[in-house]
């Protein structure tokens, strides 16, 4: 494995391979294999900023990917080069993503809302040499962002643009897809770059629970294992059709089962440019989507829309919900609308996943987040001292297995806290496990806000707020929200004699070039913070305080 990564011990590698969890295929191989089985079957449908609606069969997809991969080699990209991908759900994401796998380079997956603060930091952390962007998306100029990132991360030499506007000094993906290659760049040459399946395939980003985001190295083996088991759980087959409406770079859309699982079983992937009910539901109908996933916020919007819209959604067999807890009420609404229950999904970038099975009893589907994904998973529910609690009692979930990484990239210190010496990842999620192994999420003991599936590290935002001249101290906490589940609220103590209008604080934070979803959505100015018995700020009390205020405000309306 790449230097700076934590490999699995040899006994586990042998075990995972001999038990068939790891197949020693690469992500490039699964595309190859499916293109060989089903060359004429539709593989990918999406809207390209250059060519408009695009429909690729598996054979066309593979040709584009291979052609692009050979161009990458011609341009000097090498195995293990890190290349940041920050693209919306457009076909070019899939072409370049698999092309990088073909040559053993490593996609680093940023999300479209990330800004200089996130991308600049990740570029430095990963020593990225390439950055793939749209020229523009939702009114934001990514070419300008690329220039700023390059100033922060001088190793970032190559900017690839998926769009019609690729200025001088950048590389236009559309041209690479068209331009012919010299004879030496042939299939045999490309095959010589096939990576080792134990190599890092992808750098995912952690939800960022302490300070800035951590880089999660997934190998081909563990990531393929995750997509295969996730796909089996939802009954994927060559006739499956997956609609990706959450960002394709996120774990849930990419590998649980996501794009990978659909390619693995030869189904088609349809890319939605946004998650609005109009876009999503019209695609579900037109493309006869069989599998759809989303966070509860998205699902609530879709269900509300379907109360009025009358569409033929009969092809849909599974609606998976995750990223944030799907409560029983929402589960029941899914059943009332579609006639089948929601599939509960609980997972994390670090690779642990649990889900309900399609034929689980209804009370388990409505009331739990299911069972661990693979029979190779080992979970423990522990108390504050890391000692296992009896079944049925609440504790922190620790997990290891063939889909769970053994450490963050280049993070020796953080790894000591986040992983135990036996390789268990300490998820920070508080759960109960019942006698049959079903897990129910009860809360978390990590300092994070889960805004409808988008994770915000309280510490990261607090550090920025502390830079404001009017602020003496701050604590950022989650406040309940009917649609997003949680939003963030900033409690601040001001320097004496100074005021702080909320708009000023937001402007100050936006000037730090952070993703917009991380902005606090309420400011509470206080004289002092409640303290715990250990004299730490009691975020529990602050959360209760803001929840009480919101409740009262709603009642007074």
Binding site for ligand AMP (CB under 6 A): 207, 251, 322-325, 345-349, 369, 427, 429, 441, 444, 450, 455
| Min dist. Cβ of residue 227 to ligand AMP (A) | 15
| Beta strand 200-205 pairing with 215-219 | antiparallel
DSSP per residue, 400-467: ESTTS-SS-TT-HHHHHHHB-TT--EEEEEEEEE-TT--EEEEEESSSEEEETTEEEEHHHHHHHHTT
Separation CA 369–CA 377 (nearest Å):
15
| Min dist. Cβ of residue 378 to ligand AMP (A) | 17
Tokens matching residue 404: 């769970």
Would you say 244 or 471 has its CB closer to ligand AMP?
244
Would you say 28 or 207 has its CB closer to ligand AMP?
207
Would you say 184 or 516 has its CB closer to ligand AMP?
516
Separation CA 226–CA 329 (nearest Å):
29
Separation CA 502–CA 492 (nearest Å):
11
| Min dist. Cβ of residue 223 to ligand AMP (A) | 14
| Min dist. Cβ of residue 134 to ligand AMP (A) | 22
Angle at 456 (CA atoms; ends 450, 461), nearest 5 degrees = 145
Separation CA 368–CA 454 (nearest Å):
21
Would you say 163 or 452 has its CB closer to ligand AMP?
452
| Count helices and strands in the chain by DSSP H and E runs | 19, 27
CB 41 within 8 Å of CB 268: yes
Would you say 62 or 325 has its CB closer to ligand AMP?
325
| Min dist. Cβ of residue 440 to ligand AMP (A) | 10
| Min dist. Cβ of residue 336 to ligand AMP (A) | 20
| Min dist. Cβ of residue 429 to ligand AMP (A) | 5
Would you say 135 or 369 has its CB closer to ligand AMP?
369
Q: What is the DSSP code (8-state) at residue 341?
A: P
Angle separating helix axes 277-286 and 296-306, nearest 10 degrees: 70
Would you say 444 or 506 has its CB closer to ligand AMP?
444
Place of tokens 């430095």: 124
Would you say 220 or 325 has its CB closer to ligand AMP?
325
| Min dist. Cβ of residue 209 to ligand AMP (A) | 8
């Amino acid at each position: 494995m790449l230097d700076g990564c934590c490999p699995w011990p040899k006994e586990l590698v042998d075990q995972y391979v001999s038990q068939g969890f790891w197949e020693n295929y690469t992500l490039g191989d699964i595309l190859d294999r499916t293109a060989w089985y089903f060359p004429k079957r539709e593989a990918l449908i999406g809207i390209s900023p250059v060519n408009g609606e695009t429909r690729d069969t598996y054979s066309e997809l593979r040709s584009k990917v291979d052609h692009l991969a050979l161009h990458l080699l011609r341009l000097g990209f090498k195995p293990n080069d890190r290349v940041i991908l920050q693209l919306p759900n457009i076909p070019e994401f899939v072409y370049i993503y698999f092309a990088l796998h073909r040559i053993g380079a490593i996609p680093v997956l940023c999300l479209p809302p990330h800004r200089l603060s996130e991308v600049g930091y990740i570029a430095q952390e990963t020593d990225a040499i390439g950055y793939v962007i749209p020229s523009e998306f939702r009114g934001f100029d990514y070419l300008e962002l690329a220039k700023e990132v390059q100033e922060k991360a001088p190793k970032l030499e190559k900017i690839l643009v998926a769009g019609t506007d690729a200025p001088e000094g950048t590389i236009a993906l559309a041209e690479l897809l068209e331009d012919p290659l010299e004879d030496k760049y042939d299939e045999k040459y490309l095959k010589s770059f096939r990576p080792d399946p134990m190599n890092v395939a992808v750098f995912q980003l952690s939800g960022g629970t302490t300070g800035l985001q951590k880089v999660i190295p997934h190998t081909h083996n563990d990531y393929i294992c995750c997509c295969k088991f996730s796909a089996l759980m939802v009954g994927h087959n060559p006739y499956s059709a997956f609609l990706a409406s959450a960002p394709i770079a996120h774990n849930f859309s990419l590998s649980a089962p996501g794009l990978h699982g659909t390619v693995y079983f030869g189904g088609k992937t349809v890319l939605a440019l946004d998650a609005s009910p109009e876009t999503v539901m019209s695609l579900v109908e037109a493309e006869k989507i069989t599998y759809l996933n989303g966070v509860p916020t998205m699902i609530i919007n879709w269900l509300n829309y379907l109360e009025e819209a009358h569409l033929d959604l009969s092809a849909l067999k599974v609606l998976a919900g995750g990223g944030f807890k799907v409560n029983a009420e929402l589960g029941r609404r899914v059943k009332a609308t579609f006639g089948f229950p929601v599939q509960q999904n609980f997972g994390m970038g670090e690779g642990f996943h649990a889900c309900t099975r399609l034929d689980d009893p209804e009370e388990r589907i409505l009331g739990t987040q299911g069972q661990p994904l693979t029979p190779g998973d080992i979970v423990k529910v522990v108390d504050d001292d890391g000692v296992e609690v009896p079944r049925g009692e609440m504790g922190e979930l620790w997990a290891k297995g063939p889909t769970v990484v053994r450490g963050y990239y280049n993070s020796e210190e953080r790894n000591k806290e986040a992983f135990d010496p036996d390789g268990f990842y300490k998820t920070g999620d508080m759960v109960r496990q019942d006698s049959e192994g079903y897990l129910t999420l009860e809360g978390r003991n990590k300092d994070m806000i889960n805004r409808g599936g988008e994770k915000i590290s309280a510490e990261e935002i607090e550090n920025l707020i502390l830079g404001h001249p009017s602020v003496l101290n701050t604590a950022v906490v989650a406040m309940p929200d009917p649609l997003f589940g949680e939003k963030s609220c900033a409690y601040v103590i001001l320097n004496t004699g100074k005021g702080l209008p909320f708009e000023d604080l937001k402007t100050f934070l936006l000037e730090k070039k952070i993703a917009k979803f991380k902005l606090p959505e309420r400011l509470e100015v206080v004289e002092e913070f409640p303290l715990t018995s250990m004299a730490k700020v009691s975020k529990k009390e602050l959360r209760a305080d803001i929840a009480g205020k919101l409740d009262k405000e709603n009642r007074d309306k």
